[in-house]
A and B are shown apart, each in its own frame.
Chain A
Amino acid sequence: MPAEVKERQYQGKVHQLSRDMMNAWMAQLARANETGEPTGAIMISGNCVELLRAFDIHPIFPEVTALQNAIRHQSLPLILKAEEVGYSSDNCAYVKADMGLFLSGGMGPGTKMPYPTVTLCNYVGCNVYVKWFEHLAAATGSELFMLDVPFLRTSEPTAADVRYVVKQIEELIAVLERISKKKFDIDKLREILAYSARAEEGYARSKDLCKGSPAPFDSFFDAINMMGPINVLRGTREAADFFDEAVKEFEGMVAEGVGPLSEERFRMVVEGPPPYPYYRSFRNLFTKWGAVAVASTYSTVGGIWEWGFRHDPARPLESIAEQMLTENLTNRSIVARYGQIKRYVEEWKADCLVIHSIKSCRLFSAGQGDMREYFTKELGVPTLLVESDLEDPRYYAEAQLRNRIDAFFESLEHKKLVAA
């Protein structure tokens, strides 16, 4: 019987720094609520937060609010509140938790947040974003800007796609000038994009370090510490510095040969978002098997930086458009995602793929059965598909999940023994 695997309870600098920075951001929003400074609601996926930052408009991320409420086990009453006014049990629970918050007279996970001055729908693949922000704008009375980003349906975006997005960015800039009462300063945007590029470089380098064994952090469960700085705080000096620190920390761990668990027995790629209401419980189901995520797709919803793309201060608007069009998971097809995962399995030397299929987000999940077919039957990669939800605790069935996860890793362990 192998020794029991334990989490090292690693909470190092990365975790603490990330928490401090996110708290500081929330405090800024709370202050904006009191001072009336302009705020902009925006989505995580392939976002253009740098544009808001260029006008000193504080970004609000309703998805972050929703996930924070879920982690704090506060999502269900909000979801039920939304269902009372007619939202269906089949609608995305992120949206319901967010709208439930408004219906309960609040905004923000614990901290009081301002209503957005502008609701900037960065429509990057996810069709629910359109509905969510239509409802959000109506509920808050804020100005809605629909930034329509053509889906990546050809190998590269067409010239027409790029022109259309750049044109809309120019139109958005005019709106932001009016709202913030500030003239657009392209040099300020270039400076912000240089910070973005530095953070992107650090995030990519951190992920690259997970190619080593043991990986210095869990690229699914621990990546959340980096997703705040890369998606929410990107474009600030603090975020760029944070990733410098993260790289230093992870390089040190690689040199010491330590990872997040006492022993790394299985290297997995995880596809899909986590079940936020049961984040810790779900993690424990893998920890006991010594399974560490060496790569994940969820950590690329905001941007895929590991293949080399960086925002370019020399081509500010064009590079923002390129990132929204091509360099994020959500604006690419599910089959393109197969290619991304295949690369992870090969280059990060993973033993298996775990698909966490969530009901709320069809963009992620619709068709993951086909993904499983592809990886098991065509590539021979051991693949586990489990279902729950990222926000709605009613869909998390711990016993069922444990059975499936245990059976999968038992079988994988057996295969390893036989192969040895």
Chain B
Amino acid sequence: MKVEQTIERCRELIAEPLGAIAERWKESHPGGRAVACFPVWSPAEVIHAGGMLPLGLLGAGATVELTHADSRFQSFVCSIAKSSLELGFQGLLKGVDGLVFSNICDVARNLSSIYKRNFPHFHVDYLHLAQNSTSGGVADYMADELRRLARGFEEAFGVRVTEPSLAKSIELYNAIRARIRGLYAFRIAEPQKLSTVELYQILRAATQAPPEEALSRLDDLAAELPAREGRPKDRIRVVVEGAFCEQPPLGLLEVLEEAGCYIVEDDLFLGWRWFTSDVPADGDPFRALGQSYVDRAVPSCTRHEGREPRAKGLIEKVRRSRADAVIFTPPKFCEPALFDFVPMRQGLEREGIPHLLVEFEEKMWTFERTRNEIETFVESMLFD
């Protein structure tokens, strides 16, 4: 399949409501269960190992009007929390059986229990992912936490999550992550051949399809992309940082590119490509996966990284991708991203790396002011 056709298929997939995707999958998997994961990281492997369909619960963007959720959550709460809850109120998750949240922020924490109260038919689990990565007890704890999640699925849905099945699912997701790492490396090398708008759609589609199908699509892309035509343009290379949870509107990514940026690194769908290298396939797979969350993790605002300066991971990203600048894109009201902006900015300034702050909301639909800001920033760098 040609790259354009594959991307078109991705576009179609992500336009579908999550519930419809789950229902369609169930037609060919009678009795199957679908479980949606709120950002950032969830062990999709555990879901898949139980024969269930893991999906990404990524809010509703501008596709739904809030009619219930805004009376539950105040005006100062991020949009993804409200629109994700609204999906439940409007029945757009019909077909999804379970939801997984984790301790990324206080809003996600409260959203989890509010979901459970309002929609008792969902099996809702809340993971406490370790924040003390140096404790001697952390590996055992994480293994136990993943086993607890599995037991919850077993009790709720009558599925079985065995060690051999989990080991196989880990291998499958290792393969997916390796392909995604390949796409990121490709975009660093030849950003003119793969736009971030396209990459975004590819990655989002991977969170809304069975992983086997996602892998096959990624394989097609890996085979076809190098031969794609693409003439380099006079743009600056940037890292986009901050959109690891609430999804930026495609229009925002388009404006970033049209205004003169090659986005060569980002933190989009961070949880779906969490590990810097393969999760070991031998030994206790629960432990391997849990331990990898701690010691193979990409830098993230939602995880405490010991005494590593918060800017270190970002600066490494800039160097590795040969970026000229960083565009911070924290979603409005996102505390983890907004807090980390301060030490990250300080780190960039120490290194002399230019940066720009562009806040967004998933339901944002006009971008002219943003375009203006980015064009000015790009011009200031190109003609400096």
Contacts and interface: CB of A to CB of B under 8 A. Distances in A.
A131 B335 contact: yes
A138 B344 CA distance: 13
A134 B304 CA distance: 8
Interface string A151-174: 101100011110110011001000
Contacts of A131: 335-336, 339-340
A374 B339 contact: no
A87 B357 CA distance: 12
Contacts of A148: 130-132, 135, 304
A87 B131 contact: no
A233 to B, nearest CB: 27
A167 B374 CA distance: 49
Contact of A164 (B107, B109, B140, B336): B140
A126 B336 contact: no
B25 interface: no
A14 interface: no
B335 A151 contact: no
Contacts of A95: 339
Given A86-B342, A90-B333, A135-B343, A164 B117 contact: no
Contacts of A87: 338-339, 342
B132 A168 contact: yes
Interface in A88-147: 88, 90-92, 95, 123, 125-128, 130-131, 134-135, 137-138, 144, 146-147
Contacts of A127: 103-106, 109, 335-336
A338 B341 CA distance: 34
A370 B118 contact: yes
Contact of A333 (B104, B110, B135): B110
B106 A128 contact: yes
Interface in B114-135: 114, 116-118, 125-128, 130-132, 135
A368 interface: yes
A167 B74 contact: no
A168 B117 CA distance: 33
Interface string B302-318: 00101101100000000
B347 to A, nearest CB: 11
Interface residues of B, number: 56
B110 A130 contact: no
Contact of A123 (B104, B131, B141): B131
Interface in B76-98: 76-77, 81
B148 interface: yes
Interface in B144-172: 144-145, 148
Interface in B315-342: 330, 332-333, 335-336, 338-342
A150 B128 contact: yes
Nearest to A335: B113
Interface in B277-311: 304, 306-307, 309-310
Interface stretch (A18-26, A49-57, A358-366): A358-366
B267 to A, nearest CB: 17
Given A138-B309, A148-B132, A86 B341 contact: yes
A336 interface: yes
A370 B132 CA distance: 32
Nearest to A99: B342
Contacts of B144: 158-160
B136 A366 contact: no
A373 B106 contact: no
B74 A160 contact: no
B345 interface: yes
A208 interface: no
B310 A134 contact: yes
B114 A164 contact: no
Given A168-B137, A333-B112, A387 B132 contact: no
Contacts of A160: 140-141, 144-145, 148
Contacts of B310: 134
Contacts of B332: 90
A69 interface: no
Nearest to B116: A335
A87 B341 CA distance: 8
A224 interface: no
A412 interface: no
Nearest to B334: A90
Contacts of B2: none
A236 interface: no
A138 B312 CA distance: 13
Interface in B327-384: 330, 332-333, 335-336, 338-343, 345-346
B138 interface: yes
Given A357-B74, A359-B76, A333 B342 contact: no
Given A95-B339, A146-B131, A367 B137 contact: no
B253 interface: no
A147 B132 contact: yes
Interface string A241-265: 0000000000000000000000000
B131 A366 contact: no
26 contacts: A86-B341, A86-B342, A86-B345, A88-B338, A91-B339, A127-B103, A127-B109, A128-B339, A130-B131, A131-B335, A135-B339, A138-B309, A138-B343, A159-B144, A164-B138, A333-B113, A335-B116, A335-B117, A359-B74, A366-B74, A367-B73, A367-B77, A369-B72, A370-B73, A370-B117, A374-B117
Given A138-B309, A370-B114, A374-B117, 6 more contacts: A87-B342, A131-B336, A164-B130, A333-B113, A366-B106, A366-B110
Interface of A: 85-88, 90-92, 95, 123, 125-128, 130-131, 134-135, 137-138, 144, 146-148, 150-151, 153-154, 158-161, 163-164, 167-168, 171, 333-336, 338, 357, 359, 361-363, 365-370, 373-374, 387
